[in-house]
């Protein structure tokens, strides 16, 4: 389970950062900058490329989180909230910390020194 927890930390962080870049930078630039400007072009590039990367990596996040939830023995409501928070900018980081703390509290052998 230690490997799953480590991978969860990485994928949750990457997915959270991509979501913030997409929602707070890319989409506003794409939607609100004047057509033909470099800001609009940059926003469109971010929306298309970061959006696709986030979508694929979110699928990896879902599978990893589900596997971790089964190994750690989480109840279904905790698992569902953790999965859904991966779709909400900034909330994904709260869910990651919450999940890691729960695993470390319930499985102290996984706490890194």
Q: Is 77 contained in some domain?
A: yes
Domains contained in the chain, number: 1
| pLDDT at site 113 | 46
Contact (Cβ atoms closer than 8 angstroms) between residue 25 and residue 47? no
Q: Is 113 contained in some domain?
A: no
Question: End-to-end CA distance of the chain, in Å?
Answer: 16
Rounded CA-CA distance 10/66 in Å is: 15
Residue 39: give the domain boundaries: 2-106
Q: Is 111 contained in some domain?
A: no
pLDDT single digits (tens) 46-97: 999 999 999 999 999 999 999 999 999 999 999 999 999 888 888 889 999 9
pTM above 0.95, yes or no: no
Rounded CA-CA distance 24/38 in Å is: 17
| pLDDT level of residue 111 (50, 70, 90 thresholds) | low
Q: Is 112 contained in some domain?
A: no
């Amino acid at each position: 389970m230690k490997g799953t927890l480590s991978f969860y930390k990485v994928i949750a962080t990457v997915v959270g950062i991509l979501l913030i870049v997409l929602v707070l930078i890319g989409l506003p630039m794409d939607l609100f900058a004047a057509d033909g400007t470099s800001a609009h072009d940059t926003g469109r590039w971010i929306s298309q490329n970061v959006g696709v990367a986030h979508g694929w990596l979110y699928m990896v996040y879902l599978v990893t989180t589900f596997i971790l939830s089964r190994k750690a023995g989480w109840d279904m409501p905790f698992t569902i909230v953790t999965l859904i928070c991966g779709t909400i900018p900034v909330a994904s980081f709260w869910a990651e910390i919450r999940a890691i703390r729960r695993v470390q509290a319930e499985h102290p052998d996984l706490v890194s020194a």
